[in-house]
Structure 1
Amino acid sequence: MVMLSRRLMVLTFVVLGIQPLYGRDKTDIVYFVNGDRIHCEIKKLARGKLTVKSIGFGTINIEWNKIEYIESEHPYQFELQSGIRYLGVVAPGEESGKIEVQTLAGTHTLDQARIVSIEPVQESFFQRLDGSINLGYDFTIASSATSWSLNAETTYVGENYDAKAAFNSLYKTQEGAEPVNRQNLDITYSRHFRDRWFSIGIGQIQKNDNQALEVRGLFGGGIGRRLVQTNRTTFSVLGGAALSNEKFTDTDFIQNIEIVGGVLFDTFRFNSPEIQITASALFLPNVLDAGRVRIQADAKLRLELFKDLFWQLGFFESFDSDPPSALSNRNDFGITTSFGWSF
């Protein structure tokens, strides 16, 4: 009878599209390994932290390895280190460290240590958004140089896909020199499959005065795989192809076909202060202009200051082995520091 009831709940919530998580009561229960428990609303599990909302404590983050098990009558999506995802209602397993998920296909017993993410089902659009914004300012007295940086990004997480938009801006002025303007807009869409495989679509718009690049638009896609996926670390590789159209200060628009190869890295430390390190690199050999290779790379170290406030150290690199413009620098790199807020 209990199993039938849970299947009916899954069918009602998931198939019929009812949204039970909006403003629902704090009826979930989290049991700690030390014997304590808390009545709350489970929001999500990400980066080894379970985010819950309770009446007495508000929104808090709990380290996943300090939790014995959880109970909830509401449907969630569970993702394992292997990349397999289950959508259903959760119940404590018969063994310690196990969680049973009742799906429409039946009951699945999951090893709690291998669960890397938990996402509520049928949330509103804005509840599925994560993001951050940060601003940096530097001034050098000796050279009268001023630098402003702005970084903003947001990610939407769906049931089997996610979409991300990121904007990066750097503006430098120096006495006796022309201002330098660097702008990047990146949009990616990823769809996830079994065994940690994913497909990806990439869109970019770029401007870089240091390389005499007035504008570059790029659209491409490919496939990739998360080679490492744990509660703290992910490492992915991808490959594909892209079309680009670019204009330099002293050239007309130039169309290119480029091969795309890339690596993505993300790791996280729980202990206070929390630290997150992300890095990515794209390698783009040109098919139409043999011998020309572009490299785009960036890395960020984010240090939590207080709750959602952070300090960030960033590095970027843009390399072009054979730029079409005689005014272009082959290499443009820099380091930025900024303060920001995550949501």
Structure 2
Amino acid sequence: MKWNKGFKYLYIYLVILLSLLSNYAFSQNDTLILNNEDRIVGEIKNMIKGVLTVKTPYSDKDFKIEWLNTKLLKSDRNFLVVLSNGKRIKSAKILPGKNQEQLLIKEKDKEIIATVKEIVFIESIDDHFLSRFTVSLSVGYNFTKSNNLSQFTIRSNVNYTSDDIGFTGAFNSVLSSQDNVGYTRRTDANAGFRYYIKNKKFIILSSDFLSNEDQLLNLRATIGSGLGKYLILNNKEYLTGGLGLAWNNEKFRDTLQTNNNSLETFASFELNLFKHKNISLLTKLTTYLSVTEWKRVRADFNMDLKYELPLDLFIKLGFTNNFDNEPISGAVKNDFIFQTVFGWEFK
């Protein structure tokens, strides 16, 4: 009897505990009302590139909703919010505004009224560190029987965003083999760091690496720093520009094994278009004008055209071009590659 009585009290305790937990979980739910009056209750993870991601307990997959199709958002949690004027609002709560087109963003004692169109980016700051990363990996393979040309290609990207900083990285490589030619390899990689300041401006730290047999480069390492600014910023596209100084170190594979160091100025532009639901276009152009080598000009151009498939899969067309108006003897001035790859993205 005593055991039965003890189990009875334990059962009551568990029921009460589960009720409290369920009420707490329910209180953490966010509510999203769409333009067609549909209502979604769940956990808002983020809004990137004009697409809102919502996790719900009644679906195995996250909902992805175009941000401009939303009318109202209700949440008790804190978010990082980026507006089209460049303002970054930390630990903000998003509440309904005075009318259906407005949202009230509260940051401590400050209140900001913004429309849906003015909000560029939303990230739940309650999420753990890894949730702020976006990683994509894609591969491709081509084979031509007539000359036994075999080509294997890798194209990858990583992005991280927090309250005041942003990080991007990329690694691309092409390995080819052909009768009477042997193996050829071309590899480029880059890493970029941004520290966001006021008025759409940010501090740039960048590093670029290139190994290219056609340009007789064992390794080119370019380390730069400067100041950038958003020229266009909204939830469908952005355009940035930047200026700065860079130190360029080159190790060539010519007969003399030449090493070269130079100081350069650089100007960069980056355009990201995501106006369509499944298609995005990212392009970046960086031009280097040498300070220590008079009249030498280099330029790097990258483009990624991506079509998103279900299950976070995608098809991507990549283009990379490297130009040097004064290459080392025996090297080409211009070298470029096209890559068609199939990949997967982890968010």
TM-score by length of 1: 0.89
Q: Which residue of the partner structure matches residue 166 of structure 1?
A: 170
- Mapping of 1:1-40 within 5 angstroms? 27-40=29-42
- Once the two structures are superposed, the pairs formed by residues 16-95 of structure 1 within 5 Å of their partners are 27-57=29-59, 58-87=61-90, 88-95=92-99
User: What's the counterpart of residue 310 of structure 2?
Assistant: 306
Are the aligned partners of 2:133 and 2:158 in contact in 1 as well (CA < 8 Å)? yes
CA drift at 1:281? 0.9
Q: 2:212 aligns with which of 208, 211, 215?
A: 208
Give the Å deviation of 1:197.
1.1
Q: Write the letter of the residue equivalent to 1:35.
A: E
- Listed one character per residue, the Cα deviations across residues 58-100 of structure 1 (whole Å, up to 9, x for unaligned) are 3111111111110110111111111112231111011111111
User: For 2:280 and 2:189, how far apart are their aligned partners in 1?
Assistant: 22
Between 26-35 and 289-298, report the one with greater CA deviation. Answer: 26-35
Of 262-271 and 68-77, deviating more is 262-271
d(CA) in 2 for partners of 1:59 and 1:82? 29
Q: Which amino acid aligns with 1:260?
A: F
Q: Answer whether contact 1:63 1:270 (CA < 8 A) is retained.
A: no
Are 2:324 and 1:320 aligned?
A: yes
User: Residue 73 of structure 1 aligns to which amino acid in structure 2?
Assistant: D
The one-letter amino acid paired with 1:33 is N
Q: How far apart in 1 are the matches of 2:320 and 2:113? A: 44
Cα distance per residue 1:184-220 (max 9 Å; x no partner): 1201001112221111100122211111101112211
Give the deviation of 1:269 after TM superposition: 3.6
How many angstroms apart in 2 are the aligned matches of 1:178 and 1:238? 40
Indicate the residue corresponding to 2:276 in structure 1. Answer: 270
Which has the larger Rg?
Answer: 2
Identical amino acids, percent of aligned pairs: 27
CA distance in 2, matches of 1:248, 1:112: 52
Return the offset for 1:144. Answer: 2.1
2:77–2:126 Cα contact (<8 Å) kept: no
The yes-or-no answer on 1:255 pairing with 2:229 is no
Cα deviation digits, residues 10-40 of structure 1 (max 9, x gap):
xxxxxxxxxxxxx966511111122221110
Contact 1:286 1:293 in 2 (8 A): yes
Q: 1:246 aligns with which of 247, 250, 255?
A: 250
Partner of 1:126, secondary structure, is helix
In structure 1, the residue matched to 2:118 is 114
Aligned length: 318
1:257-298 superposed Cα distances (whole Å, 9 cap, x missing partner): 111111101111434xx1111111110111111111111111
Show structure 2 runs of 5+ residues with no match: 1-23
Matched letter for residue 279 of structure 2:
I
For the residue of structure 2 that corresponds to 1:210, the secondary structure is coil
Aligned pair partner of 2:299 in 295, 299, 313:
295
8 Å CA contact 1:213–1:247 kept in 2: the answer is yes
Asked whether the equivalents of residues 53 and 62 of structure 2 are also in contact (C-alpha less than 8 Å), the reply is yes
Rounded to whole Å, the distance in 2 between the matches of 1:301 and 1:269 is 13
Letter in 1 for 2:341: S
Moved more, 152-161 or 141-150: 141-150
The runs of at least 4 aligned residues of structure 1 exceeding 3 Å deviation read 23-26
TM norm structure 2 = 0.88
Question: Gaps spanning 5+ residues in structure 1: where?
Answer: 1-22
Equivalences for residues 141-152 of structure 1 within 5 A: 141-152=145-156
Q: Is the 8 A contact 2:315 2:343 kept in 1?
A: yes
Tell me the distance in 2 between the aligned counterparts of 1:121 and 1:206. Answer: 36
2: CA distance, partners of 1:52 / 1:338: 28
Q: Secondary structure at the match of 2:68?
A: helix
Alignment pair present for 1:227 and 2:231: yes
Contact 1:217 1:246 in 2 (8 A): yes
1:136 to 133, 137, 140: 140
Note the C-alpha offset of 1:330: 1.1
Rounded Cα–Cα distance in structure 1 between residues aligned with 2:233 and 2:53: 20
